[in-house]
Amino acid sequence: LRAQGTAALRELEAGLVEQRIRGQRFLASDRPTVADIACFPYVALAPDGGVLLDPYPAIRLWSRAIRAIDGFIEMPGIHRLHELKPEPVPEGGEA
């Protein structure tokens, strides 16, 4: 299962990098959609399955963007350890 989780995160990372190149911070748009809300808990809880989020800067940026949504309420158990690291830099050095 850990290998499947890692593969899924790699695919998500690649998709988010592509979205950032298009100028979009979220999965399907430049604003959050139900896709982001549905995906977020699974990604945020990946460390519970032994899959670290540290190697995925685009996912970490996306996670921060989700948490910054007005009115966002975080569910118990969501890990923030990866957020203690410096702000991730997207591929290509873009901000």
Torsion sign (Cα): 38, 92, 47, 15:
positive
Report pTM.
0.79
What CATH code is carried by the domain that includes residue 6?
A: 1.20.1050.10
Burial-class residue 57 by CB neighbours within 10 Å (0-12, 13-18, 19+): buried
Condensed to tens digits (0 to 9), the pLDDT of residues 22-76 reads 999 999 999 999 999 999 998 988 888 888 888 999 999 999 999 999 998 887 7
Other C-beta atoms closer than 10 Å to the C-beta of 44 total 21
pLDDT on residue 92: 59
Q: How many domains is the chain partitioned into structurally?
A: 1
Both tokens of 19, joined, read: 């979205």
C-alpha 17/C-alpha 23 separation (Å) is 10
How far from the centroid of its chain's Cα atoms is residue 33's Cα? 14
- What is the extent of the structural domain holding 25? 2-89
Token pair 């685009």 in the structure block, residue:
58
